[in-house]
């Protein structure tokens, strides 16, 4: 007997005529500037019956910035209560209420609460859709200058030293560009550990405060970036939201080509000036 396929899309006419389940929508929110909000976000915020937010204060501030009145019920939805709240939200959806999920920044379920709720909704046959929006993962990857044809996202590295060492050891042999999040308090130590596992010359990029007023993108080898972060420790450390992008193994040729292009650009500039 074959596997039963259950579609999660419920036609609008069926919902209207039979009082079917609600729709679960995951909406991307800006990672820095409110002006970067997707055009459909304001409509989704205004029309949702229930808004599940990682931080209820932030979603209210975002609504004010977008000129939106929140008529739906706003509930908290963060990692500590994710499992319990997911069950409650599925009940809301089953009762016919539309639920919107937002995080503090970026897309829900990407290193943020969301995937458990999506999985539960899918099992219940509830339609799941999205208002696509900004993501620090793809934004950092795009501005990194490292290969983007194959990449992996690792979220936050493990905190325990043994687990971190194993994870970084695995990544050191991975040919894909890897993207990681890290706390500003731990970024200096993480860069030093990545240098030890990946080698001094592996290309990497530190993206700090992406799209915000104090955005900073620092490129170099892991040895150079580890030294940069260590130097910042004497003046209060690296601050803000941090995304790391590290070249995969075998990408040394890319870095060499980038350096050659930079040298050629400087040579051409001197020629024009001379």
For the chain, domain boundaries: 12-134, 137-258
pLDDT at 167 over 90: yes
Q: Yes or no: say if 77 and 48 are a contact pair by the CB < 8 Å rule.
A: no
Sign of CA pseudo-dihedral 49, 51, 56, 60: negative
Predicted confidence (pLDDT) at residue 52 exceeds the cutoff of 70: yes
pLDDT of residue 1: 42
- Whether residue 262 has pLDDT greater than 90: no
Q: Helix, strand or coil for residue 118? A: helix
Pick the CATH number of 12-134 from 3.40.50.150, 3.40.1010.10, 3.30.499.10, 3.10.20.30: 3.40.1010.10
pLDDT of residue 235: 82
pLDDT of 13: 46
If we measure between CA atoms, which residue out of 231, 239, 256, 115 comes closest to residue 184? 239
Mean local confidence (pLDDT), 15-37: 85
CATH code for the structural domain at 137-258: 3.30.950.10
- How many degrees, rounded to 5, is the angle at CA 227 between CA 221 and CA 230? 140
200 close to 126: Cβ distance less than 8 angstroms: no
Lowest mean pLDDT among 74-78, 81-85, 94-98, 180-184: 81-85
Q: What angle do CA 215, 79, 160 make, to 5 degrees?
A: 75
Burial class of residue 16 (count of CB atoms within 10 Å of its CB; 0-12, 13-18, 19+): exposed
pLDDT digits (tens, 9 = 90+) for 182-219: 999 999 999 999 999 999 999 999 999 999 999 999 99
Is residue 36 very low, low, confident or very high in pLDDT (cuts 50, 70, 90)?
Answer: very high
Q: Among 9-13, 47-51, 140-144, 233-237, which is the least confidently predicted range?
A: 9-13
> Can you give the pLDDT at residue 253?
52
Mean pLDDT for the chain overall: 89
What pLDDT, on a 0 to 100 scale, did the predictor assign at position 15?
46
pLDDT of residue 236: 82
**Does the pLDDT at position 234 exceed 90?**
no
Task: Specify the higher pLDDT residue, 265 or 260.
Answer: 265
> How far is the CA of 14 from the CAs of 8, 10, 93, 121, 260, in angstroms?
13, 7, 15, 18, 61
Q: Is the pLDDT of residue 168 over 90?
A: yes
Specify whether the backbone of 145 is left (phi greater than 0), alpha (psi in -120 to 50) or beta.
left
The C-alpha angle 74, 121, 61, rounded to 5 degrees, equals 20
């Amino acid at each position: 007997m074959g596997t039963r396929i259950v579609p999660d899309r419920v036609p609008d006419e069926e919902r209207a005529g039979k009082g079917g389940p609600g729709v679960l929508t995951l909406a991307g929110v800006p990672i820095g500037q409110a002006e970067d909000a997707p055009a459909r976000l304001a409509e989704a915020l205004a029309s949702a019956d229930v808004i599940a937010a990682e931080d209820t204060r932030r979603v209210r501030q975002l609504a004010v910035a977008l000129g939106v009145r929140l008529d739906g019920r706003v509930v908290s939805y963060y990692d500590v209560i994710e499992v319990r709240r997911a069950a409650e939200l599925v009940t809301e959806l089953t009762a016919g209420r539309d639920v919107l999920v937002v995080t503090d920044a970026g897309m829900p379920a990407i290193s943020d609460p969301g995937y458990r709720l999506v999985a539960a909704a899918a099992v219940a046959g509830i339609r799941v859709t999205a208002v696509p929006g900004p993501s620090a993962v793809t934004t950092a990857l795009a501005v990194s200058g490292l290969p983007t044809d194959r990449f992996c996202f690792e979220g936050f590295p493990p905190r325990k030293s043994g687990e971190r060492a194993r994870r970084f050891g695995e990544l050191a042999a991975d040919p894909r560009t890897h993207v990681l999040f890290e706390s500003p308090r731990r970024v200096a130590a993480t860069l030093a550990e990545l240098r030890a596992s990946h080698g001094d010359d592996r290309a990497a990029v530190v993206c700090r405060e992406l799209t915000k007023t104090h955005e900073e993108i620092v490129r170099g080898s892991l040895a150079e970036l580890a030294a940069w972060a260590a130097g910042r420790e004497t003046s209060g450390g690296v601050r803000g939201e941090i995304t790391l992008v590290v070249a995969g193994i075998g990408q040394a040729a890319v870095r060499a080509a980038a350096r050659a292009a930079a040298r050629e650009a400087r040579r051409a500039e001197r020629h024009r000036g001379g």
